[in-house]
Amino acid sequence: MPKKKISKRPGWDEYFINIAKAVATRATCLRRKYGAVITKDNIIVSTGYNGAPAGMKDCLEAGKCTRKELQIPHGERYELCHSVHAEANAVIRAAVHELEGATIYISGEDNGTGECHSEPCMMCKRIILNARIAKVVYSDGNGSFHVINPKNWLKNRV
């Protein structure tokens, strides 16, 4: 009798982080593309990617990125960016009852160099905390991911 072929089935975190990577392909940023997936009980309730607000010309349409032109490093001067972050877009498209106790998966790609470290910025951390999301999973930039409880962000804060 032939042996059965055993296939490695991805765990839920790996599965949803890969979906976040696919969502990121819709992003309109010229610097980095991010995707976010929010799940509850392993069911997708919302997705989001970084891009300009509805009705506003995005960087792809404009053919330029203000922050890139000004050589502003990643993580600085977000007020000059026209995009809404993937995490924020995913949160605003979900119902309040779907967010409490949910998990958000975040993955990003640096245009031209591949996967990047995708820890949420401080503004998105506050949005995640306010939405009462219970678990955050984000790409580490090296083909793996971090799993954290967002309440840990509150430690050592005044």
pLDDT in tens, 100-117: 999 999 999 987 678 888
- Tokens coding 122: 């401080």
106 with 135: CB under 8 angstroms? no
pTM: 0.89
Residue 85 φ/ψ, nearest 5 degrees: -70, 155
- pLDDT for the residue numbered 156: 63
- Residues contacting 130, CB < 8 A, separation 6+: none
- pLDDT: which is higher, 121 or 77: 121
- What distance in Å separates the CA atoms of residue 135 and residue 74, rounded to the nearest whole number? 24
Using the predicted structure, report yes or no on whether residue 157 has a pLDDT greater than 70.
no
For all residues of the chain together, what is the average pLDDT? 90
pLDDT tens across 42-98, in order?
999 999 999 988 888 888 888 888 888 888 887 788 777 888 999 999 999 999 999
- What distance in Å separates the CA atoms of residue 120 and residue 138, rounded to the nearest whole number? 8
The SS3 of residue 134 is coil
How many Cβ atoms sit within 10 Å of the Cβ of residue 66? Answer: 14
- pLDDT for the residue numbered 65: 83
